[in-house]
């Protein structure tokens, strides 16, 4: 500037050109301050990277423009072979079923990753097998993600690191084992005093074992309303681990710390064992080391609050980890393992809880078992596999779960949902009532020995599990939900009769009674897991946990209402054909009630005629799995 305008002219009268020169001088100073070189001039030697930076910015802008154009117009605009440009409905988030839209959506996801959107916006896109149902993806507000989810439509899935094919992992059996063990423990704790109510009432005068079980069940029903939202918020892993810790705390409140002293002493830590014994004696104020009744109630409430997380999540675990030809079986195992917990309560509790000291030791055994299972759950339980196990699970990877109440409203408006719900309620009501009055059932048939009664009750619960595995496995292969359910309900009606029907000429038939009881368990028990899977199938891509929560709430409430009715009905005997001595017999009222319930359910369920949406999604993909990993 000074070369063009000598100092002699600097003090001349300002002119238009001079004012322009001054503005150029100020501009030059601004450029120097910002270190922005003039185009057409040589870059300063002290900043040799400026040109490279300018080129980098230019290329970055061009790349981003190209990505944006691809995201809004599709690869076809650039001569690609990924299908035509998306329609306005797709851009606005309306799903389409065009195969080309899936390809374009996949291409967009790859560019999102290439351009760094998945790292710049954590949780915006599912990564490494995660879906928008996982906690890290919930709450994302990145609009491009919603555009991608809408563009992928019903058939879009994110390619996994292993090629995007469904795959099974051996870890699924570990998942199933822990969830089943937790379900077993929760019902063992619930019915722990059912086998020895007199011992409990002697240890805690004025309090009954039945009232403790009622507290447990009411807490269970209340917590069922929260399970779905908690699992969606924190994920399956954290929900199950947290519930197992809560259950362990409840067990420790019920048992105290006295059972830990022998274990600590066996490890050679005598001082620690003495400290534990002192703490246990301070905490325990009841006879023979029993804790106060208020602590028993508090612990029971905590376990009751934890149990729905083990009861309502089996269908979700099956969908997340198991293939389409394994889901009914895995659900049957996890869902019916609580029956094994009831059987354990009768067998172990009946032998140990014969007095107050035995009751205290019995509670300690339960607490020790709970600590071991919870420790394993914290160490080994996982959230979800790296790759979805089935085509239907991959297809629903972009599905975002609504709140539980909204899901319930949607399910009851879904054709076909109420019929598997009715079958589930029928099955759980019958098994609960038969199990609750097993003493009366056995004594009426001539079995009065307490050990024999406990063994028969345990056999009934075991038959429920075995029947669920066998029949559930068959349904996994054939998908004949309706046909198998109707046959199971029909067999249930006939097998109920020997439990309350007495032929006057033949008299008591203990062998017939036991065989009918075991057959009833195998026929009636599988209805629950089969129809849990059926309800999930017809509401696909709905939340499996929400579906099972609705069924558990309905089943537990129906059982609670029917138990007092059945208690009144079992005192009623109805004579059959008294005018014909050779055929004369009588039948008990509770059996009539349960048979009528099964008959009404059979008629209602016969009208089931709804599409199996999840099965259709699996079949459309040509299979469910790509083998074990």
**357: domain CATH number?**
1.20.1250.20
Q: Is the per-residue pLDDT at 130 higher than 80?
A: no
Domain co-membership, 123 together with 175? no
Last residue of a domain, one of 126, 155, 184: 155
* Residue 565 within any structural domain of the chain: yes
Do the Cβ atoms of 129 and 186 come closer than 8 Å?
Answer: no
Domain end residue (candidates: 89, 120, 155): 155
Does 156 score more than 50 pLDDT? Answer: no
User: Do residues 202 and 351 both lie within one domain?
Assistant: yes
Q: Which two tokens stand for residue 30?
A: 């601004």
Reported residue count of the chain is: 629
pLDDT at residue 395, as a whole number: 79
Q: What percent of the chain has pLDDT over 70?
A: 66
Contact 261/360 with Cβ under 8 angstroms?
no
What pLDDT is stored for residue 451 in this prediction? 82
Mean pLDDT for 563-590 is 80
Contact (CB, 8 A) for 587 and 574: yes
Domain co-membership, 188 together with 229: yes
Does 155 have pLDDT greater than 80? no
> Residue 261: pLDDT above 90?
no
Mean pLDDT value across residues 443-469: 86
Report yes or no on 361 lying in a domain.
yes
Check residue 269 and give its pLDDT: 61
Band (145; pLDDT cuts 50, 70, 90)? very low
How far does Cα 364 stand from its chain's mean position? 29
- Does residue 55 fall inside a structural domain? no
Per the domain annotation, does 83 fall within a domain? Answer: yes
- The verdict on 228 and 150 lying in the same domain is no
Q: How far out from the chain centre does Cα 15 lie?
A: 83
Q: For the chain, give the mean pLDDT.
A: 75
Mean pLDDT, range 399-415, rounded to an integer: 86
Same domain (yes/no): 200, 110: no
Query: Residue 108: its pLDDT value, please?
Result: 40
pLDDT value at position 99? 36
Which among 125, 155, 185 is the end of a domain?
Answer: 155
Q: With beta carbons less than 8 A apart as the criterion, state whether 409 and 601 touch.
A: no
Q: Where are the alpha helices (DSSP H) in 353-380?
A: 356-380
Q: Are residues 425 and 566 in the same domain?
A: yes
Domains in the chain: how many in total?
Answer: 3
Pick from 383, 357, 218: nearest CA to 301: 218
Question: Where do we find the tokens 């069940």?
Answer: 217
428 shares its domain with 531:
yes
190 lies in a domain?
Answer: yes
**413-439 pLDDT per residue, tens:** 999 999 999 999 999 999 988 887 887
Average pLDDT estimate for 236-260:
90
| Residue 366 and residue 232 share a domain | yes
Residues 323 and 448 both lie in one domain: yes
Q: Tell which wins on pLDDT, 374 or 339.
A: 374
305 lies in a domain? yes
DSSP secondary structure string for all residues of 298-314: HHHHHHHHHTHHHHSSH
Range of the domain at 146: 71-155
> Are residues 141 and 201 located together in one domain of the fold?
no
Output DSSP code: residue 168: B
Q: How far apart are CA 136 and CA 126, in angstroms?
A: 9
Token pair of 260 as six digits: 């830990």
Is 30 domain-assigned?
yes
Q: Which of 8-22, 69-83, 459-473 has maximum average pLDDT?
A: 459-473
Find, among 187, 214, 189, 195, the residue nearest to 456 by Cα.
Answer: 195
Token output for 545: 């946990």
**38 versus 196: which is more confidently predicted?**
196
CA distances from residue 188 to 185, 361, 428 in whole angstroms, order as listed: 5, 15, 17
How far apart, in whole angstroms, are the C-alpha atoms of residue 398 and residue 391? 13
421 and 303 share one domain: yes
* 625 domain residue, yes or no: no
Q: Is the pTM of this model over 0.85?
A: no
**Which burial class, exposed, middle or buried, applies to 623 when counting CB atoms under 10 A from its CB (0-12, 13-18, 19+)?**
middle
Indicate if the pLDDT at residue 612 is higher than 60: yes
Q: What is the mean predicted confidence (pLDDT) over 229-251?
A: 94
- Regarding whether 452 and 508 lie in a shared domain, the answer is yes
């Amino acid at each position: 500037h000074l070369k063009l305008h000598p100092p002699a002219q600097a003090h001349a009268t300002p002119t238009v050109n001079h004012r322009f020169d001054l503005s150029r001088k100020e501009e030059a100073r601004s450029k120097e301050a910002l270190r922005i070189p003039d185009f057409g001039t040589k870059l300063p030697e002290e900043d040799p990277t400026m040109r490279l930076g300018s080129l980098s910015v230019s290329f970055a802008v061009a790349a981003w423009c190209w990505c944006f154009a691809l995201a809004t117009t599709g690869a076809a605009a650039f001569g690609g072979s990924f299908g035509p440009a998306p329609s306005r409905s797709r851009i606005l988030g309306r799903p389409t079923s065009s195969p080309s839209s899936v390809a374009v959506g996949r291409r967009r996801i790859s560019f999102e990753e290439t351009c760094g959107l998945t790292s710049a916006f954590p949780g915006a896109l599912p990564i490494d097998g995660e879906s928008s149902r996982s906690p890290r993806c919930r709450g994302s507000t990145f609009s491009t993600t919603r555009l991608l989810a809408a563009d992928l439509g019903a058939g879009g899935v994110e390619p996994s690191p292993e090629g995007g094919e469904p795959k099974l992992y051996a870890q699924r059996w570990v998942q199933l084992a822990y969830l089943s063990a937790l379900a077993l423990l929760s019902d063992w704790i619930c019915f722990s005093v059912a086998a020895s109510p007199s011992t409990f009432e002697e240890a805690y005068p004025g309090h009954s074992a039945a009232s403790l079980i009622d507290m447990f069940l009411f807490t269970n029903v209340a917590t069922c309303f929260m399970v779905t939202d908690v699992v969606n918020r924190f994920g399956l892993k954290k929900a199950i681990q947290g519930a197992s810790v809560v259950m362990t705390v409840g067990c420790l409140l019920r048992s105290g710390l006295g059972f830990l002293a022998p274990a600590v002493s066996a490890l050679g830590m005598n001082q620690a064992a003495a400290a534990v014994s002192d703490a246990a004696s301070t905490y325990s104020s009841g006879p023979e080391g029993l804790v106060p009744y208020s602590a028993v109630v508090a612990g029971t409430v905590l376990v009751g609050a934890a149990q729905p997380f083990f009861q309502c999540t089996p269908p979700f675990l099956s969908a997340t980890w198991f293939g389409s030809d394994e889901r009914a079986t895995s659900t049957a195992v996890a869902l019916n393992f609580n029956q094994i917990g009831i059987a354990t309560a009768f067998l172990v509790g009946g032998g140990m809880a014969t007095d107050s000291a035995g009751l205290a030791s019995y509670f300690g055994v339960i607490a020790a078992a709970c600590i071991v299972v919870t420790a394993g759950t914290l160490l080994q339980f996982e959230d979800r596999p790296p790759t979805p196990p089935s085509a239907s699970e991959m297809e629903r990877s972009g599905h975002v779960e609504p709140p539980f109440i909204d899901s319930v409203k949607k399910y009851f408006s879904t054709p076909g949902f109420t019929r598997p719900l009715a079958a589930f309620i029928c099955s759980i009501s019958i098994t609960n009532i038969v199990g609750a009055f097993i003493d009366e059932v056995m004594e009426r048939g001539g079995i009065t020995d307490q050990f024999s009664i406990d063994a028969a009750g345990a056999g009934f619960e075991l038959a429920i599990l075995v029947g669920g595995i066998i029949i559930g496995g068959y349904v996994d292969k054939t998908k004949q939900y309706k046909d198998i359910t109707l046959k199971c309900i029909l067999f249930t009606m006939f097998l109920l009769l020997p439990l309350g029907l007495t032929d006057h000429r033949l008299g008591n038939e203990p062998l017939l009674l036991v065989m009918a009881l075991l057959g009833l368990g195998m026929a009636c028990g599988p209805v629950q897991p089969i129809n849990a899977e059926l309800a999930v199938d017809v509401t696909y891509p709905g939340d499996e946990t929400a579906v099972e929560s609705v069924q558990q709430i309905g089943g537990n409430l129906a059982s609670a209402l029917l138990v007092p009715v059945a208690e009144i009905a079992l005192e009623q005997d109805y004579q059959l054909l008294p005018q014909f001595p050779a055929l004369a017999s009588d039948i008990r009222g509770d059996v009539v009630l349960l048979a009528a319930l099964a008959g009404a359910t059979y008629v209602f369920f016969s009208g089931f005629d709804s599409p199996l949406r999840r099965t259709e999604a699996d079949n459309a993909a040509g299979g469910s799995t790509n083998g074990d990993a």
